[in-house]
Amino acid sequence: MSPIIAFVSFFNLRKRNTGSYSSPFTGVGTHFLPLGILPDHSGFVLHETGYLPNNNWWNFTKVLSPFWRFYYNFKKGHKVVSRNFEVELTPEQIMLIPDQQLFDSIGTKPVQHFWIAFSPARRIDIRQKIPIMLKTAHYELDIIREIAGLYNNKAECSDRQRVFHLSMALLNIVLSRSEIKWQNHDSPNMEKASRFIEENYSSAISIRDTARKAGMSHPVFIKAFKRYQGVTPVRFLIQTRIRHAADMLANADFSIEEIAERTGFPNRAYMSRVFKKITGTSPAQFRNTQGQG
């Protein structure tokens, strides 16, 4: 399967590489799971990874992204500016910008530019300084260099699956760093219920049975689960199914009918309606953009 990567001219890069709500993907990276998909056990969803060996146009105003942004530049020349901060991208630091942050990206010098767009399950602590600047560790830089090495001079990727797994490894390392302050919503019962749904998403799951497994009454469980996950148990189940469906559409040769059956949907038509409602695109369109044909 060929990745959804495109070499764009200087002019098209100005037009396409935006990353805001109207066009949350940059258009010049490797796209993975779409917007609206919940994180799995890893704790985050990988949406896009990209590397430009000579990014000489990075001027985009009022970027408001539904994704978190991971930025690393191999040399100076670009910066991120908002009402509350102005920070230069340097080889010594990784920059993380949470979602819902309004900022301008500024830079016209040719710079090796690496980025990841992702969505974590946890919410950032209100006391955390934004953007999050982390001193680059040598093992993190080794992974970044390895990912960059999978792209050629036209920003085309040679191994989409390896980019995915290396990006996931990098995010696991970086997001576990003690410098990042997260909100604390520990709940063993809700974690147990979430894992049960994630591990049995392809089956006919009873929310009442899930509530009993969590040791709660049905009404209390629904309220507690929504506080913990931000969505109802039914919505969590549907989004979990859609996440797995998206992964199969991108990375497997199953028909859409088979994917619907494997992910617990009664039929293709129902899965297609739900998929489009959550991701904004139909399963067939999503598969085509991922190069499956």
Per-residue pLDDT at 24 = 72
| Helix axes of 160-175 and 138-148: crossing angle, nearest 10 degrees | 160
Contacts of 36 (CB under 8 A, 6+ apart): 239, 242, 278, 279, 280
| Rg of the chain, C-alpha, whole Å | 20
How does pLDDT run along the chain (293 residues), one tens digit per residue? 333 333 333 344 444 445 555 567 777 889 898 877 778 777 899 999 999 999 988 998 888 788 899 999 999 999 999 988 999 999 999 999 998 788 999 998 999 999 999 999 888 888 899 999 999 999 999 999 999 999 987 678 989 999 999 999 999 999 999 999 997 766 888 888 988 998 999 999 999 999 998 889 999 999 998 888 778 999 889 988 998 898 899 889 999 999 999 999 999 999 999 999 888 889 998 888 775 33
Per-residue pLDDT at 5 = 32
- Is there a contact between 89 and 115 (Cβ–Cβ < 8 Å)? no
Per-residue pLDDT at 101 = 86
CATH topology of domain 10-175: Jelly Rolls (2.60.120)
Per-residue pLDDT at 34 = 82
Q: CB burial class (10 A; 0-12, 13-18, 19+) of residue 194?
A: buried
Domain range 188-289, CATH class: mainly alpha
Number of helices followed by number of strands (H, E) in the chain: 10, 10
Residue listed under structure tokens 């998929």: 275
Type of residue at 119: S
As a whole number of angstroms, the distance between CA 220 and CA 292 comes to 43
Per-residue pLDDT at 75 = 95
pTM of the predicted model as reported, rounded to 2 decimal places: 0.75
Per-residue pLDDT at 6 = 31
Q: CB burial class (10 A; 0-12, 13-18, 19+) of residue 84?
A: exposed
Task: Parse the chain into domains and list their residue ranges.
Answer: 10-175, 188-289
Contacts of 278 (CB under 8 A, 6+ apart): 36, 37, 238, 239, 242
β-strands 30-31, 60-64: how paired? unpaired
